[in-house]
Structure 1
Amino acid sequence: MNFNQNYKNLFCLVENVLVSQGVNTLVAIYINLLVNLSILFLLILLTKYVIRRFVVETFKTFTDKTKTTFDDFLLESNFPKDVGQIVPLLLIYYSIPYIFADFHFLLKGLLFLFNIYVIILAVWIVRSLIRTSRNYLMTREEYGDKPIESYSQVVLIILWVIGFMFIFAEVTGRSVISFAISLGAASAVLLLVFKDTILGFVASIQVSVNDIVRIGDWITFSKYGADGNVTEINLATVRVQNWDNTFTTIPTYSLISDSFQNWRGMQESPGRRIKRAIYIKQSSVKFLNQEDLQEFRKIKLVSGYIEHRQAEIDVYNNKNNIDKSLYLNGRNQTNLGVFRKYADAYLHEHSAINKDLYIIVRQLAPTAQGLPLEILCFSKDKRWENFEYITADIFDHLIAAVPFFDLKLFEAPSGDDIKNIKLESTGNAKRD
């Protein structure tokens, strides 16, 4: 009792001194309040500095020396900083009743806000522990095939529900148990009335927790005709600005219920994929004779390849006594094979292609439109306009290079081609 009285007298010290000096009582009370608040504010700043300077830094030093990664994840989740807020809160909790002893109307409101903040801080601290446990377990080999992410999402949702229940109970002045019972009885009606809101709320939590979509991401959502950058994400809808500057609105819950394409991975990767084929007329593919090889040796990018490859072929054919009076016998180079090597060498020489990623020139299965020769590589520049320029530059060159290898590109005949054939046939018939 004496301790509480002494503690109270300490907070009224300035007021008592001023009153004893003849200052008006009301003025003394307000000056006393201002001084106490200033001292409390300085104490909170000092406490936070000490915690940040010593406690948090000590925790960082401790994590650097331990072998386990659990404490590293605790540090990443700001757990020490969140826990460090408890000491300033205790200062506030034990000081407010004495500071605002003469202001009962303010004291009640401040205690209410204090309780709300304590609930939120408790949820925040537990959330840090859940995220730390999730990240730590995902690094353990024995949990590699377990859906740890899904489990943590469920726990986080339950945690926030409990937190909101305590907040509502604090606002309404009812106990948490009675509030939960009332909420359970009205759940059927709430689910019916707020179905879209609840779906959007759950979806927004999952989108945020799983980092499915961010503002600024380029997404393609064929079902809704969306193809562009995400400009807004809220509880009910996601707004996408398409490349033609129109806007498409997508329900938030469709991001977790339907399939769509997010191009963020490409934008964050070291290259953007180029995948396109040119179609070779199959009748133009042939074996190369000595005259052809001599001519193709003039092409710088494949001259070394032709020499090395032909030496291997000659050794094989001579060793096995192959009759080369017929080109079909034994091993031979083809104009398509040399052109394929040329395309590969050209891509490796191209300054805009990322050499650390795949560079593949391959044949696909023959089609009615010819033999597809597919180019698969990655451009360094991922910006759309520059990517298209690089792609066009590559295929401009390769298409122009095809005739130098005695190859022909397939192209379906147009109306003029058919008309010219008919005219030639008619002219030949008249001459006959």
Structure 2
Amino acid sequence: MQETKVIDSIQSRTVQAETLDAIQSGDSYRHIILEYLTKQGVSENTAEYLNMFGLLLILLIAMFLLYFVIRKILVKAFSQFASASKTNFDDLLVTNKVPRNIAHIIPLLVAMEFTPIIFKDFPNFDGVIEKGLQVFAIVLTLWIVRSFLNTLKDYFKTLPRLKDKPIDSYIQVFMIFAWVAGFMSAIAIITDTPFIKFLTALGAASAVIILVFKDTILGFVASIQVSINDMVRIGDWITFEKYGADGDVTEINLATVKVQNFDKTITTIPTYALISDSFKNWRGMVNSDGRRIKRSISIKLDSVHYLTKEQLETLSGIQIINPYLKQRQADIDTYNSEYNIDKTMLLNGRNLTNLGVFRKYAQTYIEKHSAINKEMTIMVRQLAPTAQGIPIEIYAFSNDKRWANYEYIMADIFDHLIAALPYFNLELFELPSGSSFTLKP
């Protein structure tokens, strides 16, 4: 009697253990549909396939509902936290869909946990599905990384000290490394190759890889050099004649630099061109205290002559150079008297010329001009004579650096100087036109 009880006890424990194993392995619910279909007279083979598709459908529905609930919770939590937070970083996380991408993680883990149970009777399908889920896990990781990096990019662009830095280039470099690593990992999973062996085999093809990614590598090197050497910043005004660019830099990324020209067109320049070719960056002018005026007017050679006493008396009526003429003429008269110079001919001794007096007038006029920066170089100089006359160059800096105002200031100065030439008996050089050959009655 006691032996029978012992045997029954052992059998009961065995059944409990088998039941527990069945529950743990999923058999307790994996065959629910199978058993029902078998009882309904469906063939065993067909019942197994229908059982698999049924469980797969249940899993997909459960995953969708789980994703939907988790996404709602995460998005709502992030949105509430963002509205209460002072920084805009969390707002950008929501904008770049970081919570939505993170919400895929738990459904994916559930799928990876229950897929082996669903496809236990179909090992061929099980291997393919598991590899597919692992590849999807890599893709999901890349999505999350990309969303987070885009968030960092948008956040860094809001910081004043980083607004002019090529943030896009750095983010693109990280994304390229992430995509390459993800692609290699996916290939290693699909081919059942250990990742280390896959990298070793890939090293043999490095020459081909370098050739394929040549532009990317050059752009990456150029971005680093541009940033380290502070050659170009976002917002800089640059002139790149080779590419027809003349405007403000709006974007610097790994492959290209975008310049919005002053006619509102967009010019795209290869990033590597910034270190391989010559271009002009106007940042120094923008950061300085003035914008340079450097323009000349050409005087006809045959209009230049010595000034007589009568002409000097006439020019003395010009107020801004009256003190100069008096002092200068007194010095000349003293010199000529001291050395007994014969002034019956103007060429003898020292004399004033109408061009020299005009240069002094132009210098004084610009020095007194309200729109000219008096702390920077102011110069009126005579350049070498050419076939178009004697160039008189104005070299100064305007206080206002805005383009329209700068052009107005420069035009105002030259309008005045050109109109002043006849008072000094000087003529502006110009090529003859049709009216120059017309006979006057």
Q: For the superposition of Structure 1 and Structure 2, which TM-score range results when normalised by the shorter chain? A: 0.5 to 0.7
Does the alignment pair 1:210 with 2:210? no
Q: Deviations over 1:281-323 (max 9, x none)?
A: 1111111111111111111111011111111111111111100
**Residue equivalent to 1:292:** 311
Give the corresponding residue for 1:305: 324
Show the counterpart of 2:283: 264
Shift in Å, 1:186 = 3.6
Give deviations 1:107-166, integer Å, cap 9, x for gaps. xxxxxxxxx9xxxxxxxxxxxxxxxxxxxxxxxxxxxxxxxxxxxxxxxx9xx99xx89x
AA in 1 matched with 2:360: K
| 1:336 aligned to which of 338, 344, 355 | 355
1:382 aligns to 2:432 (yes or no): no
Match of 1:364 in 2: 383
- How far apart in 2 are the matches of 1:398 and 1:168? 68
Could you give the per-residue CA deviations for residues 379-408 of structure 1, whole angstroms, max 9, x where no partner exists? 111111111000000001101111111111
- Aligned-residue Cα RMSD (Å) equals 3.1
| CA shift for structure 1 position 187 | 2.3
Aligned pairs, number: 264
Does 1:192 pair with 2:211? Answer: yes
Q: Alpha-carbon deviations, 1:231-264, whole Å to 9, x = none?
A: 1111111111111111111111111111111111
CA distance in 1, matches of 2:364, 2:195: 72
Q: Equivalent residues in 2 for 1:128-147 (5 A)?
A: none
Mark the CA change 1:195 to 1:273 in structure 2 (over 3 Å): closer, same or farther.
same
| Pair member with larger Rg | 2
2: CA distance, partners of 1:184 / 1:309: 82
1:347 maps to what in 2? 366
1:253 matched to 2:253: no
SS at match of 2:404: helix
Q: Deviations over 1:350-402 (max 9, x none)?
A: 01111111111111111111111111111111111111000000001101111
CA distance in 2 between counterparts of 1:178 and 1:283 reads: 87
SS state at 2:370 partner = coil
What is the alpha-carbon distance in structure 2 between the residues aligned to residue 348 and residue 285 of structure 1? Answer: 24
TM-score normalised by L of structure 1: 0.56
TM superposition shift of 1:185: 3.3
Distance 1:362 1:258 in 2: 33
Q: Are 1:201 and 2:214 an aligned pair?
A: no
The ranges of structure 1 where at least 4 consecutive aligned residues each deviate by more than 4 angstroms after the TM superposition are: 175-184
Partner of 1:411: 430
Once residues 232 and 358 of structure 2 are traced to their aligned partners in structure 1, the CA distance between those partners, rounded to angstroms, is 43
Separation of aligned partners in 1, 2:299 and 2:399: 28
Structure 2, unaligned runs of 5 or more: 1-112, 114-144, 146-169, 189-193
Q: Which consecutive residues of structure 1, in runs of 5 or more, have no partner in the other structure?
A: 1-104, 106-115, 117-156, 428-432
Q: Rate the CA distance shift 1:179–1:340 in 2: closer, same or farther, 3 A.
A: farther
2 CA distance for matches of 1:307 and 1:220? 48
The answer as to 2:346 corresponding to 1:327 is: yes
CA separation of 1:186 and 1:328: change in aligned 2, threshold 3 A = same
CA distances 1:45-93 after superposition (whole Å, capped 9, x unpaired): xxxxxxxxxxxxxxxxxxxxxxxxxxxxxxxxxxxxxxxxxxxxxxxxx
Match of 1:244 in 2: 263
Give the Cα separation in 2 of the matches to 1:179 and 1:297: 92
Partners of 1:176 and 1:380 in 2: CA distance: 64
Instruction: Give the aligned partner of residue 47 of structure 2.
Output: none
